[in-house]
Chains A and B, each alone.
Chain A
Amino acid sequence: MNSRKALFYLLYVIVIFSLSLWLPRIFGPSSPVPTVANSAAKEASAPAAKAKAVQSKRMQSVQPAASRRIDETVAGLLQRKGLTQERLVTDQEFLRRLYLDLAGRIPTHDEAVAFLDDSSADKRSALIDTLLASPAYVSHTYNFWADLLRAAPIRGDAGNYPAWIKDSIEQNKPYDQMARELLTAEGRLLDDGAVGYWVRDGGRILETAAMTAQVFLGTQLQCAQCHDHKFDKWKQKDFYQFAAFFGEVDTRGGLNMLADRNERKKLRELQEELSPQENAAIRRFLNEITLNVHTAERKSLRYPKDYAYANAKPNSKAVPEVIFGTMPLLSQYDNHREAFAAWLTDRNNPRFATVMANRIWKRLMGIAIHEPIDDFKDKSEAIDDALLAQLGRDFTTIGYDMREFTRILCNTRAYQSAVSASAITPRNYYAQARPLRRMRAEQLWDSCMTLLSDDVDERKLANRRQGAEMMAAMPDLSEMSAEKILESVRDTMKAKRSMMMEANRTMRKRRTKGNNGPFVARASEMRPGGGRDDGFLQAFGQSEREVINGSSIEPSIPQVLALMNGKLSSTLTQAKMPLMKTLLACSSSELADRLFVTLLSRRPTADERKLVRTEYANGGREGLQNLVWAILNSREFLFIQ
């Protein structure tokens, strides 16, 4: 089109775009609209109905417009399916659920009381905002990302990849920016944690390509890595053309960055003079500080030597080509990965926003609008296409702000529906109710940690980031002589060692006093399979981050044995631990409340008060210990309503 038309079109787009951003803010949430919530409330008994109506009105008066619109779509969907929305959750249910969903742990006793006793109309929205801004949110959301990206400290590196992820969450970096930074990362892992995305699979770009398709596009390309896909439309050629965008990626040659060939040879000779152990340690250190990714322009991906199809020659160069949408003009970008990132994060890319919006929905609601979350096909399998599209649009409109999107979802009536008595599975889910789910391994561990300490969100492990900073702060070795390099390396290793030892000393002091209690830190601060938790997290299904989203919430006997007989529960019931100490200091009238609010975030029923009274009367301190043990092992503790 000619330049004048283009200008008008541009102006038109800018006006519409601005309006869509500013209008909601100017006019605010609209007045109450008859919804399913209102009509359901009328059906209940009078006082309960009044309470429900008040709650619903409260909800609507502070509800963001986007949340209301989602509820409208859901209401329409339910009506078409002949379903009714489950009742609104009580404050107690909301409190525990929200803390687990946003903070990744149960609330402390005081946090719980503060919410339950608060009478302000907008307390639910306020709690959503508070939790989204908390360090607990960063810890909890880190687990989500680490599972998705399979982020683990790489080959002994000081955990820079996890650190980058945590920083990004803390800064509320928009999703598209995160994606771009990961995909186009360049340089040393020490200087840029996003490099971890490429180093994770040791530069095997076919694997990173398969992962990229699954993570960012929810598309299963990997079957086509070895042959034309059996069920889906992808051909092996499609896979190779997709992966070809990453053909220039090179993670090798790190040691070459270190110094020129002569100095490297001299360095090796110097190393040989040291003890074998120190030599090995230095070699590991050098490997770690040179972990990197860079663009090698002359490198490219080739079809396999045994490529069997007629549409390309074996061992020939694979040319980058997008699997849908418009192919970017490669010459306009610094390298192919930049072109790919631009294509991926383009606002018109139908899958980019939707896939993540769908993931976040699942994370909060329990089941996604499109299941499975990683297998989007041309023919949609969403429970409602309109809802899915709306979520994608909303997410895009707010600039891929994940916190804001979470806020919008938590403020919906759909999110605040109770768990239904009958089983909800992907086959009968239409957002009518929350599915009953067990806590994830990290949520369970973190909840136990909450019971064991007063400052669970502040506890960090020996500062791995500090180690990385030390190594990154080393002088530029490439100009140095071999002797100087060796000296610099040994100095840094020594400094790092004493820093870690000091940090470990501090950590040990913080360990639950007295016995060999569990290590008190949140799951996000520990390496999966690292053993600091005596295998608790692994037993309860934490992902080892070898596979995308490899976690599980299925039952197993070792889990049950750990919870019944393991160190965690015996430490929790110890008389000198904060939990028991506080309970034992209670008067008999406060005891039941304290116990139930601390462990289950709710007040006890009359029967439960009786049970506590009897148990304490009969067993004293041991009686209380029995109760704590029993509640910890109870279904209500383990499952999220």
Chain B
Amino acid sequence: MNITKASDLDRREFLTGMAQACLGVGLFSSFSAQAADHGGKAKRVIYLYMAGGMSHLDTLDPKQDKEVAGEFAPMRTSITGERISDRLPLLARQLQHAAIIRSMTSKEGSHERGSYFMRTSYPMLGTIQHPGLGAWALKLSGKNSETLPGNINIGARNPIGAGFFEPEFEPLRISRAEAGLSNISPPPHVDEGTFEHRMQLLRTLNTKFDSRFESRQVDGYAQAYEDAVKLMKSSELKAFDIAREPKNLRERYGKNNFGQGCLLARRLVEHGIKFVEVTFGGWDTHTDNFERLEKQLQQLDAGLGTLLDDLHRRRMLEDTLVVLVSEFGRTPEINDGNGRGHHPKAFSCMLAGGGVQGGQVYGATDSRGATVAEKVVSVKDLNATIAHAVGIDPAHELYSKSGRPFTIANGGKPVLALF
């Protein structure tokens, strides 16, 4: 039974439980750890989100047509016969680990709706907030660490949250990798002794109140304070400290938010965090597409290329799924501002590790990159594929408070050929 707040248990909760029981969707419905088709290998996910609509034509699906290609050119990769943009040289040498999907398609052409759809598999509505992929992964396959949170977002101002799931599935936000967790230690002028003394004062003040009232919320806060202090003292906190990484490795990832974010993501999943997202903005190149992408791609290449290599060397790629995705692609037509517009009809993404077969390209677009020519993969299908990699049954239903069923992929089917 999907138990949410005790104070809201009502007819709908009962109905939810009944629905789950009667409609055959039980709590332990089929998510097996190791499916025969290599699903379920990913114990953790690093989700790299390129916010703004990353041009597929200037990255993973370059075209020979000079009018479409513009200022960049394709270059050879470690996948025989396949090319990607010449601005991604490091990544080009790592593609034996990755699967590129060139046949993504979506109907959502606005940033807000496009990114919401990509992250939740549902269209944005004013009447309900859907949980993001991280929340789903955490809810259905559990935490790996005792004191550390399971769902982290690095770099986004307002990441997709837990929707109608419980607040414990909300992602913990880290605005900059180098800064680490905010508010994790008291301000400099408060030493350990003072902090302990303050906590003692707090306990004194709370005793009477806590004993006066029987309240689930009050208990919740008592617990949250305990957990927060535990986290503050946790030895696992060093996971958030990228200064512990060797200097040259930090430099290889790139001294920018994205690069350091990738490095932090690797550390975090190494320490047992289930789902880490790194958000990298600046892809909305309506003007000066090539000038701006030079810089963006240099950072993407260093960060992602080093990440794949690093994971591979640590033998972490087998059970870590890396996703590179954006809400949509960009138009083959280059406008007067030397830029490209939004293009959801056809775009690319990339999966690596976590059971996904490396060294392959799945699907294709036409000669201009305007439409999908073969093997369409919808956003829902992509999310179903991610679910499959993590060992979550894409058809597993969970219920909102009003009794409506939702799934991680909203009906999408995993692309099994990728595994």
Residues of A within 8 A of B (CB): 150, 201-202, 207, 210-211, 214, 220, 222-223, 230-231, 272, 276-277, 279-280, 371-372, 375, 381, 419, 421-423, 425-427, 435-438, 529, 531, 534-535, 538, 541, 544, 546-548, 550, 552-562, 564-566, 570, 611, 615, 622, 626-627, 629-631, 633-636, 638-639
Q: Is the Cβ of A557 less than 8 Å from the Cβ of B403?
A: no
Interface range on chain B (Cβ under 8 Å from partner): 35 or more
Q: Is the Cβ of A557 less than 8 Å from the Cβ of B224?
A: yes
Looking at the complex, which one of B170, B183, B338, B402 makes contact with A556 (CB distance below 8 Å)? B170
Q: Is the Cβ of B183 less than 8 Å from the Cβ of A276?
A: no
Which residues of chain B are within 8 angstroms of A556 by Cβ–Cβ distance? 167-168, 170, 224
CA distance A560 to B231 in the complex (A): 11
12 interchain pairs, CB-CB under 8 A: A202-B110, A276-B337, A423-B7, A425-B7, A426-B10, A437-B217, A546-B124, A554-B217, A555-B224, A564-B186, A566-B182, A635-B206
Which residues of chain A are within 8 angstroms of B228 by Cβ–Cβ distance? 557, 560-561, 564
Q: Which of B47-55, B193-201, B244-252, B374-382 contacts A (4 or more CB under 8 A)?
A: B193-201
Q: Is the Cβ of B194 less than 8 Å from the Cβ of A622?
A: yes
Which residues of chain A are within 8 angstroms of B337 by Cβ–Cβ distance? 272, 276, 279-280
Q: Is the Cβ of A150 less than 8 Å from the Cβ of B126?
A: yes
Q: Apart from A207-B125, A547-B125, what are 19 other A-B pairs with CB-CB below 8 Å?
A: A272-B336, A272-B337, A419-B213, A425-B6, A437-B217, A438-B217, A438-B221, A554-B166, A556-B170, A557-B224, A558-B172, A558-B183, A561-B184, A561-B228, A561-B231, A564-B186, A629-B198, A630-B198, A630-B204
Q: Is the Cβ of B204 less than 8 Å from the Cβ of A611?
A: yes
Interface contact tally, CB-CB below 8 A:
178
Residue B288 lies at the interface, judged by CB distance under 8 Å to chain A: yes
Residue B129 lies at the interface, judged by CB distance under 8 Å to chain A: yes
Residues of B within 8 A of A (CB): 5-11, 15, 110, 124-129, 149, 157-158, 166-168, 170, 172-173, 181-187, 189-190, 194, 197-198, 201-202, 204-206, 209-210, 212-218, 220-225, 227-228, 231-232, 286-288, 336-339, 402-404
What's the least CB distance linking B225 to chain A, in Å?
5
Q: Is the Cβ of A276 less than 8 Å from the Cβ of B170?
A: no
CA distance A426 to B11 in the complex (A): 11
Which residues of chain B are within 8 angstroms of A207 by Cβ–Cβ distance? 125-126
Q: Is the Cβ of A547 less than 8 Å from the Cβ of B126?
A: yes
What's the least CB distance linking B23 to chain A, in Å?
11
CA distance A372 to B11 in the complex (A): 11
Q: Is the Cβ of B221 less than 8 Å from the Cβ of A638?
A: yes
Q: Is the Cβ of A223 less than 8 Å from the Cβ of B125?
A: no
Nearest 10 pairs of A and B residues by beta carbon: A630-B201, A561-B183, A425-B7, A555-B224, A560-B228, A276-B287, A565-B183, A555-B220, A634-B205, A635-B209
Which residues of chain A are within 8 angstroms of B168 by Cβ–Cβ distance? 556
Closest to B216 in A: A423
Evaluate whether A211 and B202 lie within 8 angstroms (CB atoms) in the complex, with A423-B214, A425-B6, A555-B217 already known. no
CA distance A277 to B227 in the complex (A): 47
Q: Is the Cβ of B217 less than 8 Å from the Cβ of A553?
A: yes
Looking at the complex, which one of B167, B172, B206, B288 makes contact with A276 (CB distance below 8 Å)? B288
Q: Is the Cβ of B187 less than 8 Å from the Cβ of A559?
A: no
Q: Is the Cβ of B204 less than 8 Å from the Cβ of A555?
A: no
What's the least CB distance linking B338 to chain A, in Å?
8
Closest to A531 in B: B157
What's the least CB distance linking B214 to chain A, in Å?
5
What's the least CB distance linking B196 to chain A, in Å?
11
Closest to A419 in B: B213
Looking at the complex, which one of A214, A381, A436 makes contact with B215 (CB distance below 8 Å)? A436
Q: Is the Cβ of A630 less than 8 Å from the Cβ of B205?
A: yes
Q: Is the Cβ of B126 less than 8 Å from the Cβ of A634?
A: no
Closest to A574 in B: B189
Q: Is the Cβ of A566 less than 8 Å from the Cβ of B202?
A: no
CA distance A210 to B216 in the complex (A): 33
Q: Is the Cβ of B201 less than 8 Å from the Cβ of A626?
A: yes
Q: Is the Cβ of A210 less than 8 Å from the Cβ of B125?
A: yes
Q: Is the Cβ of B183 less than 8 Å from the Cβ of A279?
A: no
CA distance A150 to B128 in the complex (A): 12
Q: Is the Cβ of B204 less than 8 Å from the Cβ of A565?
A: no
Which residues of chain B are within 8 angstroms of A559 by Cβ–Cβ distance? 224
Q: Is the Cβ of A560 less than 8 Å from the Cβ of B198?
A: no
With most chain A CB atoms within 10 A of its CB, the pick from B110, B173, B213 is: B213
Q: Is the Cβ of B184 less than 8 Å from the Cβ of A427?
A: no
Evaluate whether A565 and B224 lie within 8 angstroms (CB atoms) in the complex, with A529-B158, A556-B167 already known. no
Which residues of chain B are within 8 angstroms of A634 by Cβ–Cβ distance? 202, 205-206, 209
Closest to B128 in A: A547
Which residues of chain B are within 8 angstroms of A422 by Cβ–Cβ distance? 214
Which residues of chain A are within 8 angstroms of B8 by Cβ–Cβ distance? 425-426
Q: Is the Cβ of A626 less than 8 Å from the Cβ of B125?
A: no
Closest to B124 in A: A546
Q: Is the Cβ of A554 less than 8 Å from the Cβ of B126?
A: no
Which residues of chain B are within 8 angstroms of A557 by Cβ–Cβ distance? 149, 172, 224, 227-228, 231
Which residues of chain B are within 8 angstroms of A555 by Cβ–Cβ distance? 167, 217, 220-221, 223-224
Which residues of chain B are within 8 angstroms of A222 by Cβ–Cβ distance? 125, 127
CA distance A562 to B225 in the complex (A): 11
Looking at the complex, which one of A436, A548, A552 makes contact with B127 (CB distance below 8 Å)? A548
Q: Is the Cβ of B185 less than 8 Å from the Cβ of A565?
A: yes
What's the least CB distance linking A169 to chain B, in Å?
22
Q: Is the Cβ of A627 less than 8 Å from the Cβ of B201?
A: yes
Which residues of chain B are within 8 angstroms of A231 by Cβ–Cβ distance? 15, 403
Which residues of chain B are within 8 angstroms of A279 by Cβ–Cβ distance? 287, 337
Which residues of chain B are within 8 angstroms of A544 by Cβ–Cβ distance? 158
CA distance A427 to B11 in the complex (A): 10
Q: Is the Cβ of A561 less than 8 Å from the Cβ of B182?
A: yes
What's the least CB distance linking B165 to chain A, in Å?
11
Closest to A566 in B: B183
CA distance A419 to B217 in the complex (A): 14
CA distance A629 to B184 in the complex (A): 16
CA distance A245 to B356 in the complex (A): 50
Q: Is the Cβ of B167 less than 8 Å from the Cβ of A626?
A: no
Closest to A536 in B: B183
Closest to B220 in A: A555
CA distance A231 to B399 in the complex (A): 14
Q: Is the Cβ of B217 less than 8 Å from the Cβ of A548?
A: no
Q: Is the Cβ of A547 less than 8 Å from the Cβ of B167?
A: no
CA distance A553 to B218 in the complex (A): 11
Which residues of chain B are within 8 angstroms of A562 by Cβ–Cβ distance? 182-183
Which residues of chain A are within 8 angstroms of B287 by Cβ–Cβ distance? 276-277, 279-280
Q: Is the Cβ of B224 less than 8 Å from the Cβ of A423?
A: no
Q: Is the Cβ of B218 less than 8 Å from the Cβ of A554?
A: no
Closest to A627 in B: B201
Q: Is the Cβ of B129 less than 8 Å from the Cβ of A211?
A: no
Looking at the complex, which one of A277, A558, A566, A630 makes contact with B173 (CB distance below 8 Å)? A558
With most chain B CB atoms within 10 A of its CB, the pick from A531, A550, A560, A636 is: A560
CA distance A457 to B118 in the complex (A): 41
What's the least CB distance linking B279 to chain A, in Å?
14
Evaluate whether A371 and B10 lie within 8 angstroms (CB atoms) in the complex, with A211-B127, A557-B228 already known. yes
Q: Is the Cβ of A436 less than 8 Å from the Cβ of B201?
A: no
With most chain B CB atoms within 10 A of its CB, the pick from A280, A554, A622 is: A554
Q: Is the Cβ of A633 less than 8 Å from the Cβ of B217?
A: no
Which residues of chain B are within 8 angstroms of A423 by Cβ–Cβ distance? 7, 213-216
Closest to B4 in A: A554
Evaluate whether A546 and B129 lie within 8 angstroms (CB atoms) in the complex, with A231-B15, A427-B9, A436-B215 already known. yes
Which residues of chain A are within 8 angstroms of B7 by Cβ–Cβ distance? 423, 425-427, 435
Closest to B223 in A: A555
Q: Is the Cβ of B216 less than 8 Å from the Cβ of A626?
A: no
CA distance A565 to B191 in the complex (A): 12
What's the least CB distance linking B26 to chain A, in Å?
19
Q: Is the Cβ of B126 less than 8 Å from the Cβ of A535?
A: no
Evaluate whether A565 and B10 lie within 8 angstroms (CB atoms) in the complex, with A555-B220, A635-B209, A636-B209 already known. no
What's the least CB distance linking B185 to chain A, in Å?
6
CA distance A626 to B125 in the complex (A): 45
Looking at the complex, which one of A202, A372, A626 makes contact with B194 (CB distance below 8 Å)? A626
CA distance A624 to B265 in the complex (A): 41
